[in-house]
Chains A and B, each alone.
Chain A
């Protein structure tokens, strides 16, 4: 049965280690707040560069499976390099790969710390709304009720005796199936209403392009649903080329050919754009936003 301390109850050393890491992490973050403002940007630039360098090299350097045959064919020197860099690694690892998991975990921990900041912001805003009785402060009361009720029920249904208590389990079902899931579904269903009003407003045959777009939209829409399929179901497969004119076949052609081609074109552009943006951030060249001038 899970306890609050999870699987580590039988391993006090591990628990102490976790607590120690937590305190050290908090102290480290606290210490960072004392870094002078002038030194912050160079510090960020250096950390970003080292991080970017690690991840790009880890991706670019050949893994053992590719490097092994090459290095071992290069005589004694190649063998030495292989033993130095690749010995004991998995076939798809290079000498930087073993640190990947640790770094990913570290990133998760840092992200975990920032979640507390997000929650603090919510509490700060809604707390102020209530204390200063601002307009619509009632909504903020609901925020606190929501957070506290979900947290309490979530905690007790998960740990200790609550795991087998029908009361806590029942409350959890009400909180999730009854409230959370229903609210989620209600929000998603708004899209149906909004797409009707948006499409009604936007689709006007004002130009040749708009006409083509609307025509394609109609064909795809009809070709995807049973009623559209029914409309041209009188066209028989034996009719040869004419069979292509069934709505579902026209719709399929639009989706598989022009749509896929356009998507690919845009995706290539996006990928190159993302690469350029990544380079600029890595080398701290993204001026005018994060860096007033280069560091």
Chain B
């Protein structure tokens, strides 16, 4: 599909409308509630643990390049660095993409500056390791073992290297928090990490951590968007079920059809 079809246009339009509407109403001062997400709450605990032990924090944004997942990861990184800067704890970031690496440097520099500790920013702690999957995994686990990291964070797109990183983190005794929209890697993170955030909780990260009204509003808009999808699913189920007898069912199905 190279261009939006009518159903895509309609659904995307409605979801975008809900998100923007809720952002605007949140900014007008409407109180919004967000449920507790244990994985994200555990970030404070993990940073605190590294501070107590006087050992560094390891952060991996996964191996994919600059995309929405990567940008969300950097947003969470910014929060972690700000938290760590308060306690003067070192954060090491391992990157597998050169574009993301340059942005991560900026994000880290700014996060330290915002906490009034620009001198804590160490260029060498934001490391580009390799853009090769297993070379990256190998360099990362070497780093984790040599530096005896106390806390590990994995937020981003992970593939087969997920378990290699998480199990090494466990072996060095680190407290680990992971989040990825890559569903296939979730079981490995759940098995090896202390806390894991699942599915779209990943995208709730920046809203949850900053409690910014704009971001919270966007979360509520997302939930309304999901209701729209559920409505479409129900329409599809009814359409399929009644299509042999009622022509309206076939019309619904035809409307959703893409391509040949």
State the Cβ distance, B86 to closest chain A Cβ, in Å: 15
Interface residues in B183-227 (C-beta closer than 8 Å to A): 183, 188, 190-192, 198-200, 202-204, 206, 209-210, 212, 214-215, 218-219, 221-222, 225-226
Interface positions, chain B 39-82, Cβ under 8 Å from A, are 65, 68-69, 71-72, 74-75, 78-79
Are the C-beta atoms of B72 and A277 separated by less than 8 Å? yes
Query: Is A290 part of the binding interface, using a Cβ–Cβ cutoff of 8 Å?
Result: yes
Main secondary structure, interface of B, reads helix
Q: Tell me which residues across on chain B come within 8 A of A280, comparing CB atoms.
A: 214-215, 218
Q: Of A128, A195, A198, A287, which one neighbours B170 at CB under 8 angstroms?
A: A198
A248 vs B102: C-alpha distance when bound (angstroms): 49
User: Is residue B101 within 8 Å, beta carbon to beta carbon, of the partner chain?
Assistant: yes
With both beta carbons as reference points, the residue of chain A lying nearest to B2 in the complex is identified as A92
Interface residues on A, range: 35 or more
A278-B68 contact, Cβ under 8 Å, with A63-B2, A272-B225: yes
Contacting pair B19 A276 (CB below 8 A): yes
Asked if B78 and A279 make an inter-chain contact with CB atoms under 8 angstroms apart, the answer reads: no
How many Cβ-Cβ contacts under 8 Å join chain A to chain B?
Answer: 189
Instruction: Please choose the segment from A115-123, A170-178, A226-234, A249-257 that sits at the chain B interface, where 4 or more of its residues have CB less than 8 A away.
Output: A115-123
Cβ < 8 Å to B, chain A residues 107-165: 110-111, 114-119, 121-122, 124-125, 128, 135-136, 139
A117 touches B98 (CB 8 A): yes
How far, in whole Å, are A257 and B39 apart by their CA atoms in the complex?
A: 28
Contact B20 A279 (CB under 8 A): yes
**By the criterion CB–CB under 8 Å, are A117 and B102 in contact?**
yes
The reply on A187 being an interface residue by CB < 8 A is yes
Q: Which residues of B contact A16 (CB under 8 A)?
A: none
Interface size on B, residues (CB 8 A): 72
Other-chain residue from B101, B164, B198, B222 in contact with A191 (beta carbon distance below 8 A): B164
Do the beta carbons of A183 and B134 come within 8 Å of each other? yes
* A162-B157 Cα distance, complex, nearest whole Å: 39
Asked if B115 is an interface residue, CB under 8 A from chain A, the answer is no
Is B117 at the interface (CB under 8 A from chain A)?
Answer: no
Confirm or deny: A281 has a beta carbon within 8 angstroms of a beta carbon on chain B: yes
Q: Which residues from A are CB-within-8-Å of B164? A: 187, 190-191, 194
Q: Which of A61-100 contact B (CB under 8 A)?
A: 61-63, 66, 92, 94, 97
Whether A285 touches B72, Cβ cut-off 8 Å, given contacts A114-B98, A273-B203, is no
Contact between A188 and B114, CB atoms less than 8 A apart = no
Indicate if the CB atoms of A111 and B226 lie closer than 8 Å. no
Beta-carbon contact of B79 and A118 below 8 Å: no
A199 and B167 alpha carbons, distance in the complex (Å) = 11
Chain A positions within 8 Å of B218 at CB level = 276, 279-280, 285
Instruction: Find out whether the CB atom of A285 lies under 8 angstroms from the CB atom of B214.
Output: yes
Q: B3–A59 contact, CB under 8 A?
A: yes
B191 partner residues in chain A, CB cutoff 8 A: 195, 198-199, 201-203
Interface 9-residue window, one of B9-17, B30-38, B249-257: B9-17
Question: Which of A122, A195, A265, A275 gathers the greatest number of chain B CB atoms within 10 Å?
Answer: A275
Contact of B12 among A117, A183, A201, A275 (CB under 8 A): A275
Residues of B within 8 A of A268 (CB): 226, 229
Q: Contact at A288–B215, with CB atoms within 8 Å?
A: yes
Residues of A near B68 (CB, < 8 A) are 274, 277-278, 281
The verdict on A50 contacting chain B, using a C-beta distance below 8 Å, is no
Flag whether A270 is at the interface (Cβ < 8 A). yes
A10 at the interface (CB under 8 A from B): no
B258 in the interface, Cβ–Cβ < 8 Å?
Answer: no
Chain A positions within 8 Å of B226 at CB level: 268-269, 272
CA distance A250 to B199 in the complex (A): 26
User: A94 touching B75 by the CB < 8 A rule?
Assistant: no
* A114:B107 contact, CB within 8 angstroms: no
Q: Chain B 116-142 against A: per-residue CB contact (8 Å), 1 yes, 0 no?
A: 000000011011110110110110001
- When distances are taken between beta carbons in the complex, the residues of chain A under 8 Å from B188 are 195, 198
Cβ B98 vs Cβ A273 within 8 A: no
CB A62 to nearest CB in B, in angstroms, measures 7
B98 A118 Cβ-Cβ under 8 A: yes
Sorted nearest first, the 5 A-B pairs with minimum C-beta distance are: A273-B203, A118-B98, A269-B200, A289-B75, A187-B134
Sampled A-B contacts (5; CB under 8 Å): A115-B131, A188-B160, A194-B168, A266-B199, A279-B19
Query: B-side interface residues toward A, CB under 8 Å?
Result: 2-4, 9, 12, 15-16, 19-20, 23, 65, 68-69, 71-72, 74-75, 78-79, 95, 98-99, 101-102, 107, 114, 123-124, 126-129, 131-132, 134-135, 137-138, 142, 146, 160, 163-164, 166-168, 170, 181, 183, 188, 190-192, 198-200, 202-204, 206, 209-210, 212, 214-215, 218-219, 221-222, 225-226, 229
